[in-house]
Amino acid sequence: MNLRQVEAFRAVMMTGQMTTAAELMSVTQPAVSRLIRDLEHATKLRLFERRGNQIIPTQEALTLWKEVDRAFVGLNHIASLAKEIARQAAGTLRIAAMPALANGVLARFLARFLEDKPNLQASLSGLPSSLVIEAVAAGQAEIGYADGPLDRPGFIIEPHSIPAVVAMPQHHPLAEKAVIQPADLRGQRMISLEPGTVFAMRVEVALAGVQRLSIVETRLSHTALSLVSEGAGIAIIDPTSASEFIDRGVAVRRFGLFIDAGFLAIQPANRTRSDIVDRFMREFVMFHDASVDDRRLVRFASHEG
């Protein structure tokens, strides 16, 4: 028994005629008849009774048809899945990202990315940058988004640099300024990110010599911004997180010194890059930049300046 014989049997069962089955298979009617005879010989089953120009399926044929149809439904599913994979709409996508991305813009983008890809299985884990790197290294994630810099072999690293901004309560006196200089923060109540991250270190370097009141330390930028929105103080923060709070009582202004608040997109160097991963990474960067711009963060931050 071979697949072509089974295809002929299915075509005859579906159409009820040898001639129509032949048209469906793009072969001649004698070819279909021969395939059916060969199938009957191979299975030692009598599948059809011939009554003049009619063919009547036997009980054996009806029983066999149930399994054949189920098998072809499975084959059609496989074929459909193959098409989905070919158009980058199926497979698996595991992402590990620092919370500043995972808790906002990245989650929103992933939801939109999956809209037309029902067979794509995805996971998103919010982790500290050090654990993001380890997740990618251990093969637990195809993509990682982490704070930089990263000087370690075994990774493909694509940096995305963006300047930090100053977030303050909406009616704070400094909100009248278009650009906040380090000296402007002298004596201000500051909300700081806990030491231990590269970004926190960069902020401390930028504010060296500026006397300010550090009233709260927190690990997460979203927590810092929640405190800002309640009037607790000012924070130097990444614009990605700040864009989530524009309409929540937070004013955002440019900072006079450049502090890199961007991220690294990380992939393992020892694995074959997939089209779906490349597409996700490429489109996320565009979505990220457009999302910040769509919320008028840059224009709002400049305060007509």
- How does pLDDT run across 163-221, given as a tens digit for each residue? 999 999 988 999 999 899 999 999 999 998 887 778 888 898 998 888 888 788 888 89
Residue 189 burial by Cβ neighbours in a 10 Å radius (0-12, 13-18, 19+)? middle
- Mean pLDDT on 45-55: 80
Q: Which of 134-143, 211-220, 289-298 has the highest mean pLDDT?
A: 134-143
Does residue 294 surpass a pLDDT of 50? Answer: no
Token pair recorded at residue 289? 């930049």
pLDDT digits (tens, 9 = 90+) for 251-262: 999 999 999 998
Q: Hunting for tokens 């014989």 — which residue is that?
A: 5
pLDDT digits (tens, 9 = 90+) for 58-94: 888 888 877 787 776 655 555 554 555 455 444 678 9
Split at pLDDT 50, 70, 90, the class of 293 is: low
Q: Helices 18-25 and 29-43: crossing angle, nearest 10°?
A: 100
pLDDT digits (tens, 9 = 90+) for 88-112: 444 678 999 998 899 889 999 999 9
The answer to whether the pTM exceeds 0.75 is no
The residue with greater pLDDT, 266 or 54, is 266
- Mean pLDDT on 20-47: 86
| 18/47 Cα distance (integer angstroms) | 13
Task: Kindly report the CATH number that applies to the domain delimited by 90-161+262-285.
Answer: 3.40.190.10
User: Which CATH architecture is the domain 165-255 placed in?
Assistant: 3-Layer(aba) Sandwich (3.40)
**CATH fold label, 3-86:** Arc Repressor Mutant, subunit A (1.10.10)
Output the pLDDT for position 301: 45
How much of the chain, in percent, has pLDDT values that exceed 70?
88
Q: Identify which of 288, 279, 269 has the alpha carbon closest to the alpha carbon of residue 160.
A: 288
Does residue 56 surpass a pLDDT of 50? Answer: yes
Does residue 231 surpass a pLDDT of 80? Answer: yes
Domain ranges of the chain: 3-86, 90-161+262-285, 165-255
| Residues 164 and 203: beta-carbon distance below 8 Å | yes
Q: Name 161's Cβ contacts closer than 8 Å, sequence gap at least 6.
A: 260, 262
> Which residues on neighbouring strands pair with residue 169, listed in sequence order?
250
| Residues 96 and 145: beta-carbon distance below 8 Å | yes
| 112/124 Cα distance (integer angstroms) | 14
- Mean pLDDT on 268-273: 76
The DSSP letter of residue 27 is S
Say whether 90-161+262-285 and 3-86 share the same fold: no
Mean pLDDT over the full length of the chain:
83
- Mean pLDDT on 229-244: 91
Angle ∠(199,185,305) on CA atoms, nearest 5 = 90
Output the pLDDT for position 14: 81
Give the containing element (helix H, strand E) for 106: helix 105-113
